[in-house]
Chain A
Amino acid sequence: MKKLLLTTAALALSTGFAMADTVRLGTEGAYPPYNFINDKGEVDGFERELGDELCKRAALTCEWVTNDWDSIIPNLVSGNYDVIIAGMSITDERDEVIDFTQNYTLPDPSAYLAASAGVDVKTGVIAAQTGTIQASFVAESGATLVEYATPEETVAAVRNGEADAVLADRAFLAPIADDDAALELLEQMELIGGGVGLGLRESDTELKATLDGAIKSMKDDGTLNAMIDKWDIGLTF
């Protein structure tokens, strides 16, 4: 009897998603520790672990898809996957086009990685990835912005002296600074963006509610904080 009940519950849950049997999670796969491709060629990182846990809690079957950062939102609204889980900060302009769940990281200040501590970030040459909130920030700050297509190239630009510093999420830059003695993080940080959330189509209200609930439960029982600590993402809730 108990078993039967469980199945019906599962059925009731899944009928809500009869429309979406498999939930496809879209990520970039080039932004460690949030998401990256590991030696096995699979999506790995903080968001992989988080996404799998969320799917387990919400009783969803999930599948991982990688997509180029530039077209990650157009492909979501066009229905090629159902959720963006790619370290995407919640911003007003993005929020106009897609919906976000509640944030699963606290706003992480963006940091500068530079070759020397004496860089003046207000007047120097600052590298950023094209199309990121950091690029918009530098464009407005008065520093000379130089944009590269990939995160890898922005760091390379500092290594080879093309730029004085690179502005990116602290969690992305910290392991690089640890690994390379020639580079260091500046004291100054910039608070841009409002934490990272899952991006969904505005019409997918049901899925949004489910995932919101799952994130809430992970926040409540502390599993989310443990994950944030494990991957060194930043402040905990």
Chain B
Amino acid sequence: MSCFQTVQDYALRSIGIGERLLPRDNFTLCDQITLIGSGMIWNIYFGAFALLTGFMLATAVALGKASPNPLLRKPSEWFIFVFRGSPLFIQFFFAYFFFLSLKMVSPFFGVLTSAWLGALIVLFLNTAAYSGEIFYGALRSIPKGDVEAADAYGFSGLARFRRIIWPTMLRLAWPAYTNEAIFLFHATTLVFFSGFPVWQQRGDALYYAKYFADKTFNPFVPYPILAGYFILLTLGVITCFGLINRYLNRHLPQEARRRLKIRMNMIR
């Protein structure tokens, strides 16, 4: 079977399109690269959506934690503490358990027990907590002068937040937030590894890497392939976030635009 044929059969296998049966013998490098690549669809899906949705909640949680009102502050603090303080796989375990009991109450919640939604919710809450802490740190270090200048120009309430505080917070938090994004993508490998069951062999990249390691009994081929994919993904994330960083700092003179350094003193 030619490699082209393999790509046709298996490139979308992880979402259920293509051959139903996975290759069972004579595993070629092409098989492994195609299927593990196919699994990356899930990793990118989980990472991208959790990041997008988590971003909103993170802003809210950061504002909550910085709020003088204890009714807002306390829940935000606890939310961040619980999700940052416990291992992700324990969160997956409890979430799956909880979703199952919801399903018992009403079949309406049945959809939560499948990974595409259930695991996404966990990752969403998890990244919201981590980014919330990063944003909170950034909020605290917004230069006092910026806020005073906004006051002087008559900005107040929502306008002040939207025009001054929020963009400044993002600028300050961006390097650390990039790191959080990288870690989130890495964390997506845990979804099927020790969280949610795999239906009809539609798994993520790690699932297929494990499948091959299991069939060929040779871990030294599939896992490095997986590692290669993730290095590419990480580079992609860094590039994307670098572009956004440039946009965020577009008002600064050319040499003062701090290049996005992946040093970030607030890595997760």
Q: A145-B200, A145-B201 are in contact. Are A140 and B21 (CB under 8 A)?
A: yes
CB of A77 closer than 8 Å to a CB of B: yes
In contact, A160 and B104 (Cβ under 8 angstroms): yes
Among the stretches B69-77, B173-181, B207-215, the one at the interface with A is B207-215
A: number of interface residues (CB 8 Å): 26
- Select A149's contact among B193, B199, B216, beta carbons within 8 Å: B193
User: What chain B residues lie within 8 Å of A139 (beta carbons)?
Assistant: 21-22, 200-201
Q: Contact between A71 and B197 (Cβ–Cβ < 8 Å)?
A: no
* Given known A70-B210, A74-B217, A93-B25, contact A162–B113 (CB-CB < 8 A): yes
Complex CA distance for A149 and B213, rounded to whole angstroms: 15
Q: Which residues of the other chain, B, contact A148 by a CB distance below 8 angstroms?
A: 197
A157 to B199, CA, bound (A): 12
Is A153 interfacial (CB 8 A cutoff)?
Answer: yes
**Pick the contact of B199 from A130, A144, A153 — CB < 8 Å?**
A144
Query: Hey, which chain B residues are within 8 Å of A162, CB to CB?
Result: 100, 113, 197
How many angstroms between the C-alpha atoms of A77 and B103 in the bound complex? 44
A169 within 8 A of B: no
- Given A70-B214, A131-B210, A160-B104, answer yes or no on A153-B197 (Cβ-Cβ < 8 Å): yes
- Verify if A12 is at the interface (C-beta below 8 Å from B): no
Residue A119 CB within 8 A of the other chain = no
Closest chain-A Cβ to B198's Cβ sits at a distance in Å of 4
Residues of A within 8 A of B200 (CB): 139, 144-146
**Inter-subunit contact A147/B197 (CB<8 Å):** yes
Q: In whole angstroms, what is the CA distance A160 to B109 when docked?
A: 14
Contact among A71, A94, A147 for B219, CB-based, below 8 A: A71
0/1 string, A63-81, CB within 8 A of B gives 1: 0000000110110010000
B194 at the interface (CB under 8 A from A): yes
Q: Is A136 an interface residue (CB 8 A)?
A: yes
Return the chain A residue nearest B193 by Cβ: A149
B58 to chain A, nearest CB (A): 30
Task: Point out the residues of chain B lying under 8 angstroms from A71, CB to CB.
Answer: 219
Chain B hits for A127, CB < 8 A: 197
Contact present for B100 and A146 (CB under 8 Å):
no
Interface residues of B in 37-66 (CB under 8 A from A): none
B5 within 8 A of A: no
For residues 146 through 191 of chain A, which have their beta carbon under 8 Å from a beta carbon of chain B? 146-149, 153, 157, 160-162
Establish whether residues A147 and B201, one from each chain, have CB atoms under 8 Å apart when the complex forms.
Answer: yes
Q: Which 6 A-B pairs have the closest CB atoms?
A: A97-B217, A147-B198, A73-B217, A131-B214, A146-B197, A148-B197
* 6 residue pairs A–B, Cβ–Cβ below 8 Å: A70-B214, A74-B213, A74-B217, A130-B210, A131-B211, A145-B199
Add 11 more A-B contacts to A146-B199, A162-B197 (CB < 8 A).
Answer: A70-B213, A74-B217, A93-B215, A127-B197, A130-B210, A139-B201, A145-B199, A145-B200, A146-B197, A146-B200, A147-B197
- Measuring CB to CB, which residues of chain A are less than 8 angstroms from any residue of chain B? 70-71, 73-74, 77, 93-94, 97-98, 127, 130-131, 136, 139-140, 144-149, 153, 157, 160-162
